[in-house]
Amino acid sequence: MARVEDDGTNRRTARHGDRVYRGLVPTGGLRRAFRPERAPLSLRPRLFIHAVLLYGRVVMPVAPLRIAVIGAGLGGLTAAVALHRAGFDVRVYEQAPELTEVGGGINMGPNAARVLYRLGLGAGLDREAVRPTSTHQRRWQDGRTLQRAPLNPRCEELYGAPHLTVHRADLLAIIASGFPSERVHLGHRLVGLRDEGGRVAARFDNGVEAAADILVGADGINSMVRAALLGEEAPRFAGCVAYRGLVPAERIADLGLEIGSQSWVGPGGHFVHYFVSRGRLLNFVGWTEHDTWNREDWTDRATIARALAAFEGWHPQIRRIIAAADTCFIWALFDREPLPRWSVGRVTLLGDACHPMYPFMGQGAAQAIEDGATLAACLAADGVVDPAKTLRRYEELRRPRVTRLQELSRANKTRFHLPDGPAQEARDAEWARAGDRSPEALRWLFEFDATVVPSR
């Protein structure tokens, strides 16, 4: 039997076992809006309201919101894990026939790592990721240090989470481990959306239709959800292509590489390398500028000879790393202008679907992870009452931050690729005087907590 307490203002508290239900009850005695909270043992929002006997009447259970996430990439799965943990009924729909992630490594700052640790994924991160000791920027030809800063354990001391380098496939598997596999529907390519007022219907190419109270488009730079909301628009080639590969650590052991992230900057390009996969592999990516390109695909192969030619004349360490790889892939960089809005009614976007960005701040995946955390926090706080309003709130919170990072990433493309000369010399002198890569210099970025929704 539930015990009901009245504070004299029509606000009732119903207690049933260890559950506490608070809400406004109209004078007629019928419950109008109860917000369940777990007793003080946990502050996590609970959105499924169990039946409560109130004044001799049964208040029927209110089912949790049904949320469909389109796309099982890093951002989509982070959102799914966070929403599922908050008590929502979440389903993920992915067009690929299996849950895989192509590509190489990710440099992940503490702003994103903190989210994943809070979602209970720390064991996987500690097992698979590498904690780089430092970040080191160097000159392309002679290897001279331009700036250097510690990363770990300094990041954890300052921000409560480490800086990590991790293979994309490892990271996807870690995040997926936090979500029930039976709720991930593979082989579902979205072909249409239909607004049905109080819900959204999604139609897939296999003939399946799914209805949801909220739909989240996390389906990448070529998002079908984005196209359905805002119209078709081709992404724009950014003028850069990347040669990327993985090298077994034992092949370059004689180089004595530090367990850190190194980037080499030079005329028209830059080269980055760091360890991933428990330190067993060295990930590298070398950016060069091109005038035209017609594909945006992580799986296009390039020859080792072509990659070496692209970095002809660069430091011998760079060329040794490239030559040690078994295979090499080439990837063209595309992006879009910032969107005027991300949400329409009960549909919203996250990650590359709404804010693709150059990787020159190391924040593309991190911002998709932050999106998922903030979306879940907003919906857990007040999403049941007015989902469309809550999605607009999520967008208001996220857009200024990701827009700033898009702008900084574009500026870094120019800064990293300066031809040798007066502008390059001024940049090098500025970095030597006041480096911009240290955890302290990036406080605005790293201390940000995407799981907290500020009060209005």
Residue that the structure tokens 């000369």 belong to:
421
Q: State which amino acid sits at residue 58.
A: V
**378 is written with which tokens?**
């907003």
CB 349 within 8 A of CB 230: no
Q: Which of 159, 243, 274, 358 is catalytic?
A: 274
Strand 19-24 relative to strand 33-38, pairing: antiparallel
* Dihedral angle computed from the Cα positions of residues 406, 407, 408 and 410, in that order, rounded to the nearest 10 degrees: 90
394 classed as catalytic: no
Cis before 153 (ω within 30) = yes
Instruction: Kindly report the number of other CB atoms within 10 A of residue 58's CB atom.
Output: 10
Strands (E), 140-235: 145-150, 164-167, 184-185, 190-195, 200-204, 209-212, 214-217
Q: Report which of 242, 101, 100, 112 is spatially closest to residue 164, judged by C-alpha positions.
A: 112
CB 63 within 8 A of CB 75: no
- DSSP bridge partners of 332: 241
CA 98 to chain CA centroid, Å, is 20
Please give the single-letter amino acid code of residue 176: A
CA pair distance 352, 375, nearest whole angstrom: 15
Q: Give the residue numbers marked as catalytic.
A: 274
